[in-house]
Amino acid sequence: MGDWHVIAHIPTFIERQAHHAVESYTLAPDGTIATTFTFRQGGPDGPLKRYTPRGFVRDPESNATWGMQFIWPVKAEFLIAYLDEDYTQTIIARNARDYVWIMARTPDIPQADYDQHVERLRAWGYDVGQLRRVPQIPSPR
């Protein structure tokens, strides 16, 4: 739970020009995950965009397979494919390999860590040429 900065992604259509993208997760009393996704559209001074999808844990043993609902009744697959032992960097993937997100607790990560994540994605069959580094700026909140 908490805030995760989007370091890089193969973006969905709404994220293609995102700056300072941050996903915030809160466990709701009903067991779902209240999610707030914020970013600046088109540049650091662009309009603030805010989306509030709902996450549903599909595998309670691992908590690594989610359905993310942006529009009812569709729940898109989100897989926590990698999480470092310090709980500071993660990769959210999909079996379709159409979208992916490298996220961290901080707005930047060491280049060596980023390179390792890219190699993981390549090994998993992602087209890493589609990865976009997300410009991070001071918090829009």
Span 108-121, mean pLDDT? 97
Per-residue confidence (pLDDT) for residue 138, from 0 to 100: 52
More confident residue, 59 or 5: 5
Dig out the tokens for 95 from the structure. 């079996």
Least confident among 10-24, 48-62, 81-95: 48-62
What is the value of pTM for the model shown? Answer: 0.90
Span 18-34, mean pLDDT? 94
Q: Which element (helix H / strand E) includes 119?
A: helix 111-123
What would the 3-class secondary structure string for 23-81 be?
A: EEEEECCCCCEEEEEEEEECCCCCCEEEECCEEEECCCCCCCEEEEEEECCEEEEEEEE
Residue 130: what are its φ and ψ, rounded to 5°?
-90, -5
Domain ranges of the chain: 2-133
Query: Is residue 137 predicted with pLDDT exceeding 80?
Result: no
More confident residue, 141 or 75: 75
Return left, alpha or beta for 125; rule: phi > 0 is left, psi -120 to 50 is alpha, else beta: left
- For strands 54-57 and 65-71, give the pairing: antiparallel
Band the pLDDT of 74: cuts 50, 70, 90: low
Q: Cα–Cα distance between 67 and 122 in angstroms, integer?
A: 24
The verdict on domain 2-133 having CATH code 2.40.128.20 is: yes
